[in-house]
Every structure is written in structure tokens, then in C-alpha cells.
Structure 1
Amino acid sequence: MEIAENAALVVVDVQKGFDEEEFWGPRNNPGADENIASLIDAWKATGRPVVFVRHDSSKPGSPLRQGHEGNGFKEYVEKRRGQGSGAELLVTKTVNSAFYGTPDLRAWFEAQGVRQFVVAGIQTNMCAETTARMGGNLGYEVLFALDATYTFDLVGPWGWTLSAEDLARATAVSLHGGGFATVVGTEELVAAAGR
């Protein structure tokens, strides 16, 4: 795997509010936080750009709403912000895609010459997947770090329910099989970034 010198890491919505299990329900991939931290460390150590994305929910009861403690980044993310020599950006958004946030992510990528980026964060099948899909549509080379994401069980139409693990697999198949992104693992990305 080739990681460009200026490949960006996009860390999506790693916020305290996602620890409120009574709101979200059962999650998958308990190792995701450790993998996200490893990716941030690898990107910071090599001076590559990192984008931190925060979801500012407009829903009154959301644990991710502004003014609520859950809106803030998890501690391990917060303590890594502002470290290293690479460019860094904070994007805030109210919808699924980081490309519809503020400031404009695409414009920033263009200014930095970024053509390749890695997606990690929460939730696998929501904001992480939407950001990856849109990046693929915009012509970027997108690498999706599946084991550095997690999600929650979800109920859909007609009472259909999918477990968090099934949703993560569906995301991986849709992104990879559909040509939106290449689904990869954290260990592989960290090794490639260090070369």
C-alpha cells in the first residue's frame, strides 16, 4: 500500500456523546478507539495532515448537541490535537458528510494538494461511510480504516434490525465492492505511513 506524503487522515466524530450507551444501544469493535489513536499518532509522527470532524447535532435530545458535554472530542483525541508538525483542520458539521461542513473540506484539500485520504471514526455506516462515499464521488483516493470505526445496532423499516457488526460488514462491502473506497486495516496503514 502506498500512502502519499500529504495523504490526510479524516477523524470523524470521535465524540464523548457516543459513549452514552443507553442512547445508542449495543456497539461493535471495542478496539476501535485504540486503532483511531494509533492512526492519529502515525499521521502526526510523519507530519501528514489530520482533519478532526465534529458533529454539532441540531436535535435537542442528542448527546452530540452543542452545549452538552458529549459534543466534545473524546480525551484521547483532544490530547492529540495541536501536536506534530503536519497541517491540521477542525471541521464542524450538522449532516453526515464532512464535505458539507465548515470550513469547506474540499477547498482545504485542494489548497493542501491532497488527493488521497483515510477515514476513521464514528459511526461506520453513517458519517464515516458518507464521507468516504462522497470523497470517492469527488475523485479522491479513499482508504477506509474499518477496524478504526464502530457503530451501533439499528432498526430500519418494517422492524428490520441489523446488528452493529452486520452494518459494519455491509459498509465494507458497499464501499469496497462499489468502488467508493479501499477498505483496509489500521496495522497496514500505520506500517505504510511509516515507510
Structure 2
Amino acid sequence: MKNFEPVLIIVDMQKGMQSYKPDHRNNPQAESNIAKLLAAWRQTGGLVIHVRHMSRTVGSVFWPGQIGAEFQDELQPLNGEHVVEKNVPDAFINSGLERWLRVRNINDVVIVGVSTNNSVEATARSAGNLGFKAIVVADGTYAYDQVDYAGTLRDADVVHAMALSNLDGEYAMIMTTNELLKAR
């Protein structure tokens, strides 16, 4: 797997995500792992795509023009790095992302960001369904506590693990930051 250079896709790492209480999420190191991956990609001249959620709901923290819609300071796109805006969890829907990748003959993608069971999972499912070889970085994404359909509160670690389990082997390969960096 050496000398493999997929595109790094960073999903929804916006200031609005920082407004949620950190004691209700897992992987507190996710942002630092994403920053580590971003630095590695930049160091080798790898392609990076920053995905930003732009809400259609007036008053949302992700409404255009709100500070919450801005990228987190340490994960700001550089000139030349592609930015995709989306209105739904899946970064491939109505965003031009698939076309951008196809035009460049890119088949391999690495997905990090938030949240594991929402935008990351939706994006990884589409990537797999569209024939891309996707990797989701388990410690480069995180989830929040969530009440399930039966009304039971599920811990963020459980929500995260189930989302990764939903993806593993069928839509994406699951790796850690260190495993991925060693594979490059």
C-alpha cells in the first residue's frame, strides 16, 4: 500500500461544530488528528477537499454568513485547496464533488470530519456506491450521544462504533491516523 495518494476530504469542520458540548461526544483528539493528516497532505502536495455544510434553515448556526459556517481556524483551506459546499449530509449530493474527482481521474479518497454517523457516513456510503475506494479515519471523526429510535440514550462511542461498522468492508476501509500515515 506504499506510495498511495488519495484525496483527503475534510467534512464539516466548521466553527459551528465547536458550539456543541464536548462532554457529549467521543474522540476529543479528532481535530488534532485531522490537522496532522492535513499537514501530511500539504507537505507532500496531496490534494485536499474541504467540505462545508451550508444550512437551508434560517437561523441555523450553519446559515450562510454566520460565524458557525466558517471553517475552524486550524483547518482553514489554503489557496488551491478545493472547497465544496453542501446542503445535506452527503457531500456528493448536488455539490459537484463526484465530477471534480472524475475529471482528475481520482479513485481513492480519505474521509475525516464530523459527524461519524451523519455526514461522514453519508459521504462514505456514496463514495463506495459510486465506485471510489474510500477510507474513513476512525480517530479523525467523532460522534455525539444520541437517543435511538426506541428512546434509549446511546453513548457517543457506541454511535461512532456502529457508524464505522455500517461502513467497514462494504463502503469503506476503516483505518486510524497512524495506520494511514504509515501506508502513505
Which bin holds the TM-score, normalised by the shorter protein? over 0.9
Match for 1:48: what amino acid?
G
Counterpart residue type for residue 17 of structure 2 = F
**Which of 82, 85, 95 does residue 92 from structure 1 map onto?**
85
Tell whether 2:75 aligns with 1:82: no
Alpha-carbon distance in 2 for matches of 1:92, 1:19:
19
Q: What is the root-mean-square deviation of aligned Cα atoms in Å? A: 1.7
1:23-60, Cα deviation, whole Å (9 max, x unpaired)? x9711110000000011111111111110000001223
Aligned partners of 1:63, 1:163: CA distance in 2, in Å? Answer: 24
Q: Distance in 1 between matches of 2:50 and 2:94?
A: 11
Identify which of 91, 105, 108 aligns with 2:97: 105
Residue by residue over 1:77-107, the C-alpha shift from the partner in whole angstroms, topping out at 9 and shown as x without a partner, is 11xx226xxx6210000001110143x1111
Report the alpha carbon displacement of residue 17 of structure 1 after superposing the two structures with TM.
Answer: 0.5
Q: Which amino acid aligns with 2:179?
A: E
Shift of 1:12: 0.2
161, 182, 189: which one aligns with 2:173: 182
Specify the alignment match of 1:15 in structure 2.
14
For 1:2 and 1:62, locate their aligned partners in 2 and report how far apart those are by CA, in whole Å: 43
* 1:120-164 Cα distance to aligned partner (Å, 9 max, x none): 001111001110011001111100101000111112323232111
CA distance in 1, matches of 2:94, 2:157: 28
Q: Would you say how many aligned residue pairs link Structure 1 and Structure 2?
A: 184
Indicate conservation of the 8 Å contact 1:50/1:89, yes or no: yes
- Alignment TM-score, normalising by the size of structure 1: 0.88
Unaligned runs of 5+ in 1: none
Distance in 2 of aligned mates of 1:130 and 1:3: 28
Matches within 5 A, 1:36-185: 36-78=34-76, 81-82=77-78, 88-102=81-95, 104-177=96-169, 179-185=170-176
Asked if 2 retains the 8 angstrom alpha-carbon contact of 1:14 and 1:54, the reply is: yes
- SS of the aligned residue for 2:32 comes to helix
